Amino acid sequence: MTKLSVNINKIATLRNSRGGNIPNLLKVASDIQDFGADGITIHPRPDERHIRYQDAYDLKPIVTTEYNIEGNPIQQFKDLVLAVKPTQVTFVPDGEDVLTSNAGWDTINHQSYLKDVIAEFKEAGIRTSIFIETDLALIEAAATTGTDRIELYTENFAAEFAKGNKEAVKPYTEAAKLAHELGLGINAGHDLNLENIKFFKENIPNLAEVSIGHALIAESIYLGLENVVNLYLDKLK
């Protein structure tokens, strides 16, 4: 079964919109795990517009499943992750001005940098993953960095699937096959939802984990958080 890690950034966004502590981020993380999710993901950004750096510390004793922290490994982020020591760190090359992650790593041009960063985190006992697109040359280059896993950036698949184009999954299938041959674990995320997750899962061999936030929280407004978590788990079997 593919593991479900729930990204709780949108819960933090809602909390921050009014100040105070409603909804309670820690309680929601605890509940999501009680509902059956396999992990919690956060993506702190330098402006702390949703997840705050303090949240990462506060969540550490709460997350009893897998704890995944995503972000661009600038020094502030590196210091945070090395102090918190989550299960996994996912490197995402987003600038400070982006609304949401919109590109994967160029693992060819940034290979030396990624090698150094990955070695630092692996020495601390933290599993590493690189957010990446489906270009096979980039997958091959990722394998030389020492990373444990890649996370396939699935926005294009999701957009095309919504138009009825199921062929859009093929580059992801090929990327996953190559990654597995190269000894890499395979994660995926971005715009996956209840409509496309089952088809994606069925077409991606050796898919270890998906990270889902925006869609899952939005769907929960209508269907309820516990129900939606379990709907995803059922589709990921």
Instruction: Please give the structure tokens belonging to residue 207.
Output: 């898919």
CB 41 within 8 A of CB 7: yes
- What is the maximum span of the chain, computed from C-alpha positions, in angstroms? 48
Catalytic site positions: 43, 70, 190
CB 70 within 8 A of CB 50: no
Q: What are phi and psi of 88, to 5 degrees?
A: -145, 145
